[in-house]
């Protein structure tokens, strides 16, 4: 059976991701936006049938099989996809790129802009056109490098492209690190960005789409690094401008009293950062108008969220050296959100609960799930300065409950 093929640089097909199902298969699958005139007949291979059953996007595409089409390089990526069931989203609409650029204000800022996975470079061009002084494209997919390097040569030194995945910086372990994984120290050294004081202006603005697989774990890794000024936060207050799933954004802004959603994860971020919703995007806005009008995708919208670290975070005795103890305290308090805070305090130091709560102007019957994030920070500062507590009070309690689930 013969399969139709199309030139990948055709303006009719502007967005062409490729997915390899298995490295040992002799074919690859290219996904084109579906058009009424494009159709297939015949039986698909078994591995492809399994793929379409897992992929929520299969109804939006027609699929083309390619056998040894080496002439397609460098327009497509022939490496095996790590997210087969979750095809990568890219910014391809100019209107969306314009909205993002307005929020970043590249013309008024001295900050370096890190663009995560720029792909076809729609947002990159818009940032440069708007007057961005320095843009760093961190692209994990080598298939996009031909176009991005071409754009780099035309940017008069304002654009640098690196083979790097921002969300895989500073991997845990001692094994060999290969691109796109990288250590932040190496990246910032290559970019000639030096460490800055925490109270200085924002040195770097990061913009991108948070990968949908393990998104909570990625955000937790970032917030832990923020509190201890590790990884990228060694270089100052790094501002994140990320597209998150709406469900994840709602978790991020959960407020006291929401016994289901008010978890340590959201308290960590609310203490550390100013959180601002910049824009909400429906899934159909990610795709070009070349789709037929009948094609829709039902899913949670994506939210462009700004996470800007507070300049006054590390003040009044709170520092990266004792920040991890704060995180452990919050995890302990919110392990049971319907328990009384005074009972937890008296457990750590008998008869101390009433005094601490009175200093915070909190009622003695307040539940741990009803305490505001800023009050947890004030409470920690009081405990840290009190002679009635020793540092062992929290570590011992934490080590006894390492197997408890649901803390973050």
Quote the strand ranges of 267-317, DSSP E.
Answer: 273-281, 302-309
Handedness of CA 85, 210, 324, 235 (dihedral sign): positive
Handedness of CA 185, 187, 192, 193 (dihedral sign): negative
CB atoms within 10 A of CB 255: 12
**How many angstroms separate the Cα of 157 from the Cα of each of 148, 161, 296, 372?**
13, 11, 41, 46
Residues contacting residue 391 through CB under 8 Å, at least 6 positions apart: 325
CA-CA distance, 103 to 105, in Å (whole number)?
A: 6
Ligand-binding site membership of 139 (annotated): yes
Quote the strand ranges of 52-149, DSSP E.
Answer: 61-66, 112-116, 135-139
CA-CA distance, 373 to 143, in Å (whole number)?
A: 44
Ligand-binding site membership of 160 (annotated): no
**How many angstroms separate the Cα of 182 from the Cα of each of 149, 290, 350?**
20, 37, 48
Residues contacting residue 365 through CB under 8 Å, at least 6 positions apart: 340, 342
Contact 28, 18 (CB under 8 A): yes
The neighbouring-strand residues paired with 63 are 31
Ligand-binding site membership of 165 (annotated): yes
Residues contacting residue 63 through CB under 8 Å, at least 6 positions apart: 29, 30, 31, 32, 40, 44, 48
Contact 241, 103 (CB under 8 A): yes
**How many angstroms separate the Cα of 262 from the Cα of each of 246, 275, 324, 344, 375?**
16, 16, 20, 18, 14
CA-CA distance, 283 to 300, in Å (whole number)?
A: 8
* Secondary structure of 70-86 in HEC code, one letter for each residue: HHHCCCCCCCCCCCCCC
Pick out the residues of the known binding site. 91, 139, 165
Pick out the residues of the known binding site for S-adenosyl-L-methionine. 91, 139, 165
């Amino acid at each position: 059976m013969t399969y139709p093929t199309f030139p990948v640089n055709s303006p009719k097909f502007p967005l062409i991701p490729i997915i390899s199902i298995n490295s040992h298969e002799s074919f690859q699958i290219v996904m084109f936006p579906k058009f009424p005139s494009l159709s297939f007949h015949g039986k698909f291979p078994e591995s492809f049938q399994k793929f379409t059953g897992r992929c929520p996007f299969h109804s939006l595409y027609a699929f083309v099989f390619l056998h040894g089409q080496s002439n397609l390089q460098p327009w497509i990526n022939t490496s095996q996809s790590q997210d087969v069931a979750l095809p990568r989203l890219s910014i391809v609409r100019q209107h969306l790129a314009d909205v993002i650029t307005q929020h970043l204000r590249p013309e008024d800022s001295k900050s370096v802009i890190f663009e995560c996975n720029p792909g076809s470079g729609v947002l990159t061009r818009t940032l440069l056109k708007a007057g961005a002084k320095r843009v760093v494209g961190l692209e994990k997919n080598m298939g996009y490098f031909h176009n991005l390097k071409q754009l780099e040569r035309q940017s008069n030194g304002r654009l640098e492209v690196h083979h790097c995945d921002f969300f895989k910086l500073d991997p845990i372990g001692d094994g060999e690190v290969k691109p796109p994984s990288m250590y932040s120290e190496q990246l910032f050294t290559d970019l000639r960005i030096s460490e800055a004081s925490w109270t200085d202006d924002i040195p770097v603005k990061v913009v991108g789409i948070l990968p949908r697989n393990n998104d909570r774990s990625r955000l937790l890794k970032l917030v832990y690094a923020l509190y201890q000024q590790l990884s990228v936060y060694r270089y100052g207050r790094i501002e994140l401008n990320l597209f998150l799933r709406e469900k994840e954004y709602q978790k991020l802004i959960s407020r006291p009293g929401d016994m289901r959603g008010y978890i340590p994860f959201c308290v960590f971020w609310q203490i550390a950062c100013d959180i601002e919703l910049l824009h909400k995007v429906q899934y159909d806005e990610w795709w070009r108008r070349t789709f037929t009008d009948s094609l829709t995708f039902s899913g949670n919208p994506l939210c462009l969220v700004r996470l800007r670290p507070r300049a006054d975070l590390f003040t009044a005795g709170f520092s990266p050296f004792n920040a991890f103890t704060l995180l452990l305290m919050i995890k302990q308090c919110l392990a049971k959100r319907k328990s009384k805070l005074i009972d937890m305090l008296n457990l750590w130091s008998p008869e101390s609960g009433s005094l601490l709560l009175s200093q915070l102007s909190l009622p003695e019957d307040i539940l741990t799930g009803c305490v505001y994030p800023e009050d947890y920070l004030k409470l920690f500062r009081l405990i840290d300065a009190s002679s009635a507590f020793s540092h062992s009070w929290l570590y011992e309690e934490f080590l006894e409950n390492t197997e408890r689930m649901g803390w973050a």
